[in-house]
Amino acid sequence: MEFITLLWNQLIMGPMINSLVLLYSLLFNNFGLSILVFTVIIRVITLPLTLRQIRMTKGMSDLQPQLKEIQQKYANDQQRKSQETMRLYKEQGVNPLGCLGPMFIQMPIWIGLYQAVIQTLPANPESLAGLSQKLYSWLPLVNQAVPLGSQFLWLDLALPDKTPVFPVLVGVSMWAVQKMTMLPSADARQAQTNQMMLWMMPMMLTFFSFSLPSGLSLYWVASNLIQMAIQYFITGWGTLLPAFMVKRAPESAQAQPAKEMVKDGNNGSDGTVSGRSDRDRPKPARRRARPGRNRRP
């Protein structure tokens, strides 16, 4: 247990606290800006995992018609249905668990940031002394920045938001991300589970945001907005917008009519060629001079 705690402090808490304090000293002593820039850095670091998740999600969505056929074909044979489903995933190079990678990466970041905000913005001198022990001695900027200010807009980033603004923003932004990435399912039971997850996670985060430091809510909102931007540039709005608001691709041109329109004066009253076309009309005969015969006047 001590080894896990030491590993957590060295790999997660130490770099996170020092990064926040360093950004604070570089960004005009504004802890809100340091959280925003820190969020961008985290999203850039985890961008390969995010792109992989989006591609896997899109691949799963493209396979829904084939999965529906398998479920209908082997409705009474669960073992065969599972085998055929896994075979389809393997042939198409899709891994359903690949969609969960960034979620597992985000969890320790959320926990670490929660502890980092509490430890970086100490409420008493004892906590301030504990913060000084976690700062890197070889980085002078972080030691000179202590103590840090916690004010950003109307927020005290070390305390929960006194208004419902940021808790609501957390829930709405999380719901929008879930909605954009939600997979259409051919299975009615799975579709019902997806709908339940669509509302459960945003409601949980909204409830937690009323009691957690608003600095963590600021991180959640910024991270969700970045996720939405990445998702939009790769797959569009997904199912976030109603169908009538989504710009559809232009339909293919209709087939040309069988009768061709011509600009010749020998066409019918409707502008179509009457009788044979110009190609079928006989060309005027040309008289050729016979070789070896000279005509005398």
* Per-residue pLDDT tens over the stretch 270-296: 444 444 444 444 545 445 555 444 444
Residue 72 has phi, psi (to 5 degrees) of -75, -35
Share of the chain above pLDDT 70, in %: 71
Global pTM value: 0.69
* Per-residue pLDDT tens over the stretch 23-64: 998 998 899 999 999 989 988 888 887 887 777 777 777 777
Tell me how far apart the alpha carbons of residues 232 and 30 are, in angstroms, rounded to a whole number.
30
Tell me 93's DSSP state.
T
pLDDT at 269 over 70: no
pLDDT at 76 over 80: no
Q: Helix 101-120 to helix 214-235 angle, to the nearest 10 degrees?
A: 150
